[in-house]
Amino acid sequence: MDWNTIISQTITQAVGVLAVIYCLAAVGLNVHFGYTGLLNFGQSGFLAVAAYGLAVTVANIGLSFWAGIVVGIIAAILLALLLGVPTLRLRADYLAIVTIAAAEIIRLIVRSVTFREWFGGSDGITRFADSFYALNPFSGPLALGPLKFSQNDLWVVTVGWSLVALTSLLVWSLMRSPWGRVLRGIREDEDAVRSLGKNVYAYKMQSLILGGVIGALGGFVSAIAFQSVQPDTFSTDFTFFAYTILILGGAARIFGPIVGTMIFWALLVFIGEFLSEAVSAGVITFITSTQVGQIRFMLVGLGLMMLMIFRPQGIFGDRKELALDAR
């Protein structure tokens, strides 16, 4: 058993590239679900349109990296409008079904042979972020105790966590304002807020756009970090994992997504690495190494269920707030 690798991997990946991507997705979901009560199950769609917007603009159209970022953000805003117009007037579960459907539509279109010229089919698009890495101020890899990053990953992770910090700060300052108060009111009872003269529909739309654009940043990080976009990265399971992270850390809390991400990845990686090591060292013999990945996913599912049943306020949440939930 190589405990050094296990611990090093656990710590590195808890703050690694994937953690950043999930964290940004969860910060966006926090705006949607945590503060406004919008059940967006299509967050992966927002990441997808942003990532593909960037990749297509740079690799296929030949415009600059920054033009690609602008296109990606515009794509996320358009997606929010497209989803919001038909569903934000309806009950919460309709939004859930329509957003999940929209995310699937996006995934099926970008992976189709019909549009392969544009989106590269199931192979996706690669190598379009060189100009991002050209800006890399780091001259070498990082090896800080168990924390190990390559030169490029270090740059991505630095930018990524800065984005998390900036967006979290933005969400914090918005949620303490009268604007955030309206959103929280909508989460509790939108008819009451309507009766006080607020245009609930417009606020929900703003929330959908804000959370979607924050998710889009996660899409950029994903595209840049791997220099590649692939349709199956943006599956509905991605969204469900982001929900697990959010609920783990505590919805409607600024640090919820960040805490949730780190715990989620630390646990996931630790369990995976530990079992893999144990299997290859012959300590555990009744499972194969491919089954280790499956056990990890089973634990995610089980964890999401248990959290929602026993600690819906997140592991550090306040029970008092929960007790108010009469229903």
235-254 positions binding another protein, by CB under 8 A: 237, 240, 243-244, 247
> For another protein, which is the closer residue by CB, 61 or 322?
322
**At closest approach, how far in Å is the CB of 53 from another protein?**
19
Smallest distance from another protein to CB 98, Å: 6
In which residue are the tokens 């910090």 written? 165
* Among 241, 234, 237, 235, CA closest to 300: 241
Per-residue tokens: 278: 């144990």
In the bound state with another protein, the residue whose beta carbon lies nearer, of 137 and 191, is 191
As to burial, measured by CB atoms within 10 angstroms (0-12 exposed, 13-18 middle, 19+ buried), residue 299 is middle
**DSSP string covering 221-278:** HHHHHHTEE-GGGG-HHHHHHHHHHHHHH-TT-TTHHHHHHHHHHHHHHHHHHHHHHH
Per-residue interface string for the shown chain with another protein, residues 301-320, x marking contact by CB under 8 A: xxxxxxxxx--x--------
Q: Tell me: does residue 295 bind another protein (CB under 8 A).
A: yes
Stretch near another protein under the rule CB under 8 A, chosen from 14-22, 106-114, 136-144, 276-284: 106-114
Helical (H) or strand (E) element with 114: none
Conformation bin of residue 25: beta by default, left when phi > 0, alpha when psi is -120 to 50: alpha
Per CB under 8 A, contacts with another protein among 59-98 are 85-87, 89-94, 96-98
Question: Of 67-75, 103-111, 159-167, 260-268, which segment contacts another protein by CB under 8 A?
Answer: 103-111
Collapsing DSSP states into helix, strand and coil, what is residue 76?
A: helix
Handedness of CA 235, 240, 243, 245 (dihedral sign): negative
d(CA 133, CA 151): 10
Judged by CB, which is closer to another protein: 22, or 155?
Answer: 22
State the binding string over 196-225 for another protein (x if CB under 8 A, else -).
Answer: xxxxx-----x---x---------------
CA–CA separation, 230 vs 125, rounded Å?
A: 7
CB of 113 to another protein, least distance (A): 6
Q: Of 239, 180, 209, 198, which is closest to residue 83 (Cα–Cα)?
A: 209
Count of residues that bind another protein according to CB under 8 A? 78
Q: Decide: is 267 part of the binding site for another protein (CB under 8 A).
A: no
Q: Does 279 bind another protein (CB under 8 A)?
A: no
In the bound state with another protein, the residue whose beta carbon lies nearer, of 52 and 149, is 52
List 126's β-bridge partners, or say none: 228
Whether the CB-CB separation of 52 and 61 falls below 8 Å is answered with no
Q: Which of 134, 135, 144, 326 binds another protein (CB under 8 A)?
A: 326
Residues numbered 109-128 forming contacts with another protein, rule: CB under 8 A? 109, 112-114, 116-117
Q: Which amino acid is at 213?
A: V
Q: Does 102 bind another protein (CB under 8 A)?
A: yes
294 touches another protein (CB under 8 A):
yes
What's the min distance (Å) between Cβ of 43 and another protein?
13
Q: Which is nearer to another protein, 162 or 173 (CB)?
A: 173
